[in-house]
Structure 1
Amino acid sequence: MDAAGAGIAQPRLTPAHVEAGLLARYDGLSVVDAWGERSLFHNPGGVLPRGIYFATIKQRDGANDRASGLDRDGVFRVNTGVSRRTYERLLGAVPTRPDKGGVVSTGHDFQQLDVLMPHPVYAWMGWVCVLNPSVRTWHALAPLFDEAHALAQVKFARRVR
């Protein structure tokens, strides 16, 4: 059964679809390959060395991030940071920071596909994620990406003052 509960499998997106969709929707983004992921930064005009994290697309496990099982064929994770208020409204209390190499304690199955959940490592910072989002889930995530981009714009403006 899909995340919406309709029982009908939804088409899945690829990492390239996700990246292209974010780049088309939001101005001022730059993309950097780092730490086994494609990181999208808000950095209009390339003013900052990298910019402000906006979203990431992770396609493989890392030394301190293995909870999602990204070594499974075709599995990727889309991540973004939202406000504490939004995080708590959607997922409950923000967890405490895990020890290095650890995973946040939320009770979630971090290998589940097409479900909004806490980021397994950075949930304590208000980051959320979805593994292999369907088209339906992707559209439902738009308000979260809108919020994340607005937050990145505010942080960028503070940093370049």
Structure 2
Amino acid sequence: MTIEEITAYILSNFKNVNITEANGDLFFMYDQEKMMPFATIVTSDNDFDSVSQLNREGFFRLNIGIDKASFINTFEGIALKKGIGAYVDSGIDFTAENIVMPHPFYGAMYWLCIVKPRKKSLPVLKNHLDVAYSLAVKRLK
């Protein structure tokens, strides 16, 4: 999948989505929300996050913020951790392609990620995006 395909899917399947771009990264927000995206696409390493080695040609990471129950269900067998960066040293290979995994830095807040997702992952990602979008809508109501 490409960044453009993911963006097109989100914009065509969820109402009132705004995209903010910063340094090549995309932040998908519901309606007038300005601070808390429900999904992001990160396109390069930065000073705070280089564990996925996104500076490789054609690499990016889709990040999706879900709820606790979905997180536990998705990562059955992986212990919940607390704090920013909680999963960085968990033994997960955050450079691996097309594997849904806890976000290295925001997993403790129930964010998941996938580096360079392929089309066969779309059904799983759609479910996670549905959850994330629903949470975003609830936050603004």
Report the TM-score when normalising by structure 2.
0.90
Query: Corresponding residue for 1:82?
Result: 66
Runs of 4+ in 1 over 6 A off after TM superposition: none
Aligned letter for 2:29?
F
Deviations 1:88-135 (A, max 9, x none): 111133222146xx8534321000000000111111110001111111
Aligned pairs, number = 139
Amino acid at match of 1:113: E
Aligned-CA RMSD value? 1.7
Partner of 1:38: 26
**Quick check: 2:64–2:113 contact (8 Å CA) kept in 1?**
yes
| Distance in 1, Cα, partners of 2:135 & 2:43 | 25
Q: TM-score, normalised by structure 1?
A: 0.80
Could you give the per-residue CA deviations for residues 57-109 of structure 1, whole angstroms, max 9, x where no partner exists?
1100111011110011101000111111111111133222146xx85343210
Partner of residue 43, structure 2: 59
Partners of 1:58 and 1:76 within 8 A in 2? yes
Query: Is the 8 Å Cα contact of residues 119 and 128 (structure 1) preserved in structure 2?
Result: yes
Q: Which residue of 2 aligns with 1:132?
A: 116
C-alpha distance in 2 between matches for 1:94 and 1:36: 31
Whose Rg is larger? 1
CA contact (8 A) 1:76 1:131 kept: yes
- The 1:94–1:36 alpha-carbon spacing in structure 2 relative to 1, beyond 3 Å, is farther
Q: Unmatched 5+ residue regions in structure 2?
A: none
Identify if the C-alpha distance between structure 1 residues 97 and 54 changes in structure 2 by more than 3 Å, giving closer, same or farther: same
